[in-house]
Amino acid sequence: MTQLDDALTATIIAATGRDAGKQFTVLEIDPMTKAGYVLRFNSALRVESFQALIDEWRDSAEGDREPIDLIMRTLQGSDATAVHALLNELLDYVRISPDPQHPGVNRVLMKSDIREMKTLGEVLLALVKLNFISEV
């Protein structure tokens, strides 16, 4: 994966439990890859309209719901195996600064880096907002 100089990013600083202080950087996904994700997610989530899904996420983002609750509600009735594979792929677009004492030192995210479900929800929601919601 190539990171372009003008690519957009988002930063999340975890505040929950074992993840407190970890800094996650969400990277922009290139348009061709993003288009493939949209097609695969529509199929895996079994939704009729990507736009309707995005509208629901936008409306929910304005409320006080926890990110993981929004994600889990969206996943109800989906092809769990396909969604799991897609979410694992999307996490390739996240970098971590695991040591709060050295926030500029980034590396590729490993599965064991996120220890709290709330942190996972926040990172995934930031990834979706940056790459899918902001453009629609």
pLDDT tens profile 39-52: 898 889 887 777 77
Query: Is residue 41 one of the residues assigned to a domain?
Result: yes
Tell me if 36 sits within 8 A of 85, measured CB to CB. Answer: no
DSSP 35-94: HHHHHHHHHHHT-S-HHHHHHHHHHHHTTT--HHHHHHHHHTTS-HHHHHHHHHHHGGGE
Count of domains observed in the chain: 1
Query: Which pLDDT value is given to residue 136?
Result: 44
pLDDT tens profile 61-89: 666 666 667 777 778 889 999 999 999 99
Query: Is residue 3 one of the residues assigned to a domain?
Result: no
Q: What is the pTM of this model?
A: 0.79
Query: Is residue 106 one of the residues assigned to a domain?
Result: yes
Query: Is residue 49 one of the residues assigned to a domain?
Result: yes
Beta-bridge mates of residue 96? 24, 107
pLDDT tens profile 22-45: 999 999 999 999 999 988 988 898
Query: Which pLDDT value is given to residue 123?
Result: 94
Query: Is residue 61 one of the residues assigned to a domain?
Result: yes
Q: Kindly indicate the confidence band of residue 9, based on its pLDDT and cuts at 50, 70 and 90.
A: very high
Its domain, for residue 47, covers 9-133
Query: Is residue 113 one of the residues assigned to a domain?
Result: yes
**If you average pLDDT over every residue of the chain, what do you get?**
85
Query: Is residue 35 one of the residues assigned to a domain?
Result: yes
Query: Is residue 73 one of the residues assigned to a domain?
Result: yes
